[in-house]
């Protein structure tokens, strides 16, 4: 399933609602700051919580009692999966304590998601007197259930129950941490480049005149060109995924090197995004203007930006992820200014995703009256 524009727009309302709740928490922290009118907030904690709630609601809605527990289980499994990237591959298959714990978590998770699926179908059947899944909701699970019902299970044209569950897990795992990471680094770069923070905020205030907590429309997002340029530059300097792997489907020759079929190739995105031969002598510098004319014209190679991969394996949630970040950033910039805390230590941690090793503490100030 790919996220087309109408579907993404409907999901942006969820992003706005959850972002509004996070901003209210920030205001409460500011109110408890002893009259300083500012507070130190760790953006890693804030945005991991934000994107987990957004992606959980987009995937499963809010109507079932197991949804919150599903989100907790998914986040814990994601934490173990990230830690496993440091292990030798042979350890992934051994009955270690962590592997056994992950298997138990996975069993619980699949059981919870299956319970939500069955409850959704039962509710639909009670309303319509039919077993058809159409109309099971406009969240991800509801859309997937349109392609699966117990009566049609096994048909070539439908998904199996395991496939529905795996699609939900993949959506959450692939989108939650990467989106949070992009938000964290965007806030960092705007904090250390206040002139750009001022420019983007001016654009947001000019173009986004909606009410408090309202999601900017697609037309408004289309006018936030500076914000979009900042996010592209952020994803270049600090790509949420630092490398990807691809397996050669056939014998091929790359730059004069023969690559046999079946060879696994690692693509170091973070390194390629700072290649001065491709991006110019300022490749290590923050310069959103390089994207003034779009991503394909920002470098010597029009396919140099690999933040979401390219071709048939491009990230299926790319549109939703970008809109999610745009909505959250636009809402934050309207109400808050932020600067880097003196406690911050710049130590990016390269695992599957790129995160600050020692946190991202920013000093947040309320600028809304």
Instruction: Convert the pLDDT of each residue in 74-105 to its tens digit.
Output: 878 777 776 766 666 667 677 888 888 888 98
**Quick one: pLDDT band at residue 243, thresholds 50, 70, 90?**
confident
In the predicted model, what is the mean pLDDT of the chain? 83
So where are the chain's domains?
Answer: 5-241+307-366, 242-272
What residues have CB less than 8 Å from 57, skipping those under 6 apart? Answer: 14, 18, 67, 139
Place of tokens 């496939």: 163
CA distance linking residue 191 with residue 43, whole number of Å: 12
pTM, full prediction: 0.82
Q: Is the pLDDT assigned to residue 35 strictly greater than 50?
A: yes
What residues have CB less than 8 Å from 35, skipping those under 6 apart? Answer: none
Binding residues: 315
Residue 144: closest CA among 126, 165, 173: 165
Residue 201: closest CA among 303, 298, 300, 337: 337
Architecture of domain 5-241+307-366: Orthogonal Bundle (1.10)
State how far the alpha carbon of 319 is from the alpha carbons of 8, 323, 324, 356, in Å: 7, 6, 8, 25
- Average the pLDDT over 117-132 and give the result: 66
Angle between helix 194-207 and helix 161-192 axes, rounded to 10 deg: 120
Binding residues for heme: 315
pLDDT for res 78: 72
Q: Is the pLDDT assigned to residue 126 strictly greater than 80?
A: no
CA distance linking residue 10 with residue 16, whole number of Å: 11
């Amino acid at each position: 399933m790919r996220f087309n524009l109408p579907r993404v727009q409907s999901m942006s309302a969820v992003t706005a609602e959850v972002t509004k709740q996070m901003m209210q928490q920030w205001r409460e922290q500011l109110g408890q700051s002893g009259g300083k009118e500012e507070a130190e907030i760790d953006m890693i904690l804030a945005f991991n919580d934000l994107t987990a709630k957004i992606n959980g609601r987009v995937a499963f809605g809010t109507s079932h009692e197991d949804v919150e527990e599903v989100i907790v289980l998914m986040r814990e499994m994601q934490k173990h999966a990230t830690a496993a990237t440091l292990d030798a591959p042979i350890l992934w298959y051994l009955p270690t304590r962590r592997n056994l714990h992950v298997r138990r978590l996975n069993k619980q998770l699949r059981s919870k998601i299956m319970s939500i699926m069955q409850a959704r179908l039962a509710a639909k059947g009670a309303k319509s007197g039919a077993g058809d899944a159409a109309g099971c909701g406009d969240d991800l699970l509801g859309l997937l259930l349109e392609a699966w019902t117990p009566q049609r299970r096994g048909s070539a044209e439908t998904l199996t129950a395991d496939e529905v569950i795996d699609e939900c897990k993949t959506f959450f795992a692939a989108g939650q941490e990467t989106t949070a990471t992009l938000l964290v680094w965007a806030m960092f770069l705007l904090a250390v480049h206040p002139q750009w923070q001022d420019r983007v905020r001016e654009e947001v205030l000019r173009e986004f005149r909606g009410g408090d907590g309202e999601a900017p429309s697609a037309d408004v997002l289309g006018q936030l060109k500076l914000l979009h340029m900042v996010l592209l530059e952020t994803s270049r300097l600090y790509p949420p995924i630092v490398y990807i792997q691809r397996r050669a489907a056939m014998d091929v020759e790359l730059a004069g090197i023969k690559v046999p079929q079946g060879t696994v190739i690692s693509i170091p995105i973070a390194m390629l995004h700072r290649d001065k031969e491709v991006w110019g002598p300022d490749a290590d510098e923050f310069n959103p203007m390089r994207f003034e004319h779009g991503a394909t014209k920002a470098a010597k190679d029009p396919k140099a930006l690999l933040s979401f991969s390219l071709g048939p394996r491009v990230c299926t949630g790319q549109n939703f992820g970008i809109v999610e970040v745009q909505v959250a950033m636009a809402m934050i910039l309207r109400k808050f200014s932020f600067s880097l805390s003196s406690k911050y230590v710049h130590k990016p941690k390269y695992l599957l995703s790129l995160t600050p090793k020692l946190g991202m503490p920013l000093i947040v100030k309320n600028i809304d009256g």
